[in-house]
Structure 1
Amino acid sequence: MSYSVGQVSAFAEVTVRTLHHYDKAGLLSPSGRSPAGYRLYSDTDLARLQQILFYRELGFPLDEIAAILKDPQANAVEHLRSRQRQLSEEIARLQQLAEAAERAIEVQQTGVSLTPQERFEVFGEITFDLSYAAQAEVKWAHSEGQHEAMARAAAHTKEDWRQLMGEAAVWRGELLAAFDEGEPSDGRRAMDLAEEHRLHISRWFTSCPPDMHRRIADDFCADPRAFALVVPPSQQRPGLAAYMCRSVHADAARHAGGRTHSEEHR
């Protein structure tokens, strides 16, 4: 039995344009033509189309589908197993992103009801980037510290946020002053400011040992969204993120009993 392009399009739920594309690509050419020259598909063609649509649904590219169908001896099972592994990994990644988005929304809401005016009064120019939060959740998915920080942040009251953001603003002013006055990043003043930042994280979010603090500081250099949580863009200076990163590393070395560059030249 033969079927026209329109009939195949209707019961296979694909567009006529798609069928023409498959024909042009050599993936599915109709077996016959009507006296008027119109394409006619046989039952064998439909079985092949069913295979193509199955592989397309699984996300296979057309060239790979063509390779599988071209060689009857090809091991389609191996292709399917490979695709199954890819899909499983993608499902796990999407699940992590969904969980991360849920936690990020909790933090964005801060656990309390704030009007836009109150939010500006508490957070000022500091904004919480949900895309960064989601990526951070995936990156630190197995970190107990990350989970604790998100949970504690979500539980903070409005007054908690006022206090911690007030502390952060005072600290930020001191950091900018040290940077503007040319204090060395591994000098005592800069290291003390780095230590204050570490203790601030421990006090309000999660225990932050020096090694964790170094990783956080590395993110400041690698991702502007991370540093914007500490210093809003309007207050940033070129090189400030790197300056803070160096001071954090110097402070961590001080904790480990190492000597900083400034100390070696005293």
Structure 2
Amino acid sequence: MNDRQHHPHRAPGGLTVGGAAALVGVSVRTLHHWDEIGLARPSHRTGAGYRLYTDDDIARVHRVLVYREIGMALSEIKRLLDDPAVDAREHLRRQKAQLQDGIARMERMAGAVDRMLDALSEGIRLTAEEQVAIFGESWDPDWQAGAEKRWGDTPQWRQYAERAAHLDAEGWKAIAARTEALNADLVDAKRAGAVPGSAAANALAERHRELMSTYFDCSHAMHVCIGRTFVDDAAFTANVDAAEPGLAAWLREVIDANAEANGTDPETATWN
């Protein structure tokens, strides 16, 4: 079997562009581009003007592929190959450092995905008894299942699930303590006649929004939507008013006034 049978794209003087592309695993268009920018030019041409790649040309293409694979820009590769004053080892050392940084970054991203997967399957990592012990006798462990059914397809629920999965009993106790302190201050403020939109009421509204942001990033518009549920959903109303009659309606007004002070129209606010 002669050389032409071995390499159907080989002509006297080297491989055609199609043969070179097939040999190294790139497209003909890529080799044309590299020729045009002077990165990997064929040494010969046929009488008809077709490109012919010698063994040395193919070796250079392979080097380009190696450098491109590790993330070098084509202009940097050309300089590295053409300038004898350039230290190839130093280039490769820098590239290796960049690759190691990239690997570390990807590992952190993979870890974040693992945590998200765990979070979506775990949610609150407490038994029903532990939940009641931390959140009080009025806490219903089934609320989480209901909330997931209602909001489980939202980005905010996924945020909540990830954060909840990384809270142990002590973390939940700290959140419960913040919640209890805020509820007591809300009751005191309502009884003292705090007016929605006042500085004191706005400060309480922000504390409430920040508490919501423990679970997911809560914008003022979202906060308004939460406030609506306090009066539109009987179960929410009963739960809030258990601390003080009329607290749910007053808290909604406080939230709306604070949102408006921060540039959000409570009449048109949506969950975003």
Please report the TM-score for the alignment, with normalisation by the length of structure 2.
0.53
Does residue 1:100 correspond to 2:112, yes or no? yes
Partner of 2:26: 14
Partner of 1:128: 157
Structure 2 residue matching 1:152: 3-state secondary structure: coil
Query: What is the 5 A alignment of 1:43-58?
Result: 43-58=55-70
Partner of 1:183: 198
Structure 2 residue matching 1:3: 3-state secondary structure: strand
What's the CA shift string for 1:195-219, capped at 9, x where partnerless? x888x79xxxxxxxxxxxxxx89xx
User: 1 or 2 for the larger relative contact order (CA 8 Å, sep ≥6)?
Assistant: 1
Q: Which runs of 5+ in 2 are unaligned?
A: 1-12, 125-141, 227-254, 265-272
Structure 2 residue matching 1:60: 3-state secondary structure: coil
Higher mean alpha-carbon deviation, 84-93 vs 15-24, is at 84-93
Give how far 1:152 is off. Answer: 3.0
Compared CA separation, residues 183 and 39, structure 1 to 2 (3 A): same
Question: Which of 163, 167, 191 is the equivalent residue of 1:152?
Answer: 167
Give how far 1:188 is off. Answer: 8.2
Question: Which of 97, 102, 121 is the equivalent residue of 1:90?
Answer: 102
Give how far 1:33 is off. Answer: 0.6
Give how far 1:85 is off. Answer: 1.2
Rounded Cα–Cα distance in structure 2 between residues aligned with 1:229 and 1:44: 65
Give how far 1:182 is off. Answer: 1.3
Compared CA separation, residues 29 and 190, structure 1 to 2 (3 A): same
Rounded Cα–Cα distance in structure 2 between residues aligned with 1:109 and 1:119: 12
Question: Which of 203, 218, 224 is the equivalent residue of 1:227?
Answer: 218
Matched-pair contact (CA < 8 Å) for 1:23–1:30:
yes
Give how far 1:192 is off. Answer: 9.6
Structure 2 residue matching 1:23: 3-state secondary structure: helix
Rounded Cα–Cα distance in structure 2 between residues aligned with 1:232 and 1:93: 34
Count the aligned residue pairs.
189
Partner of 1:64: 76
Letter of the structure 1 residue corresponding to residue 23 of structure 2: F
Letter of the structure 1 residue corresponding to residue 198 of structure 2: E
Partner of 1:31: 43
Rounded Cα–Cα distance in structure 1 between residues aligned with 2:262 and 2:48: 74
Letter of the structure 1 residue corresponding to residue 197 of structure 2: G
Compared CA separation, residues 122 and 76, structure 1 to 2 (3 A): closer
Structure 2 residue matching 1:40: 3-state secondary structure: strand
Partner of 1:143: none
Compared CA separation, residues 32 and 25, structure 1 to 2 (3 A): same
Question: Which of 79, 92, 95 is the equivalent residue of 1:80?
Answer: 92
Give how far 1:241 is off. Answer: 10
Please report the TM-score for the alignment, with normalisation by the length of structure 1.
0.55
Structure 2 residue matching 1:182: 3-state secondary structure: coil
Give how far 1:73 is off. Answer: 2.6
Rounded Cα–Cα distance in structure 1 between residues aligned with 2:147 and 2:197: 36
Give how far 1:128 is off. Answer: 3.0
What's the CA shift string for 1:108-159, capped at 9, x where partnerless? 33448x99966234779782356xx6xxxxxxxxxxxx8xx64337x9xxxx
Matched-pair contact (CA < 8 Å) for 2:17–2:51:
yes
- CA RMSD, 1 decimal: 4.7
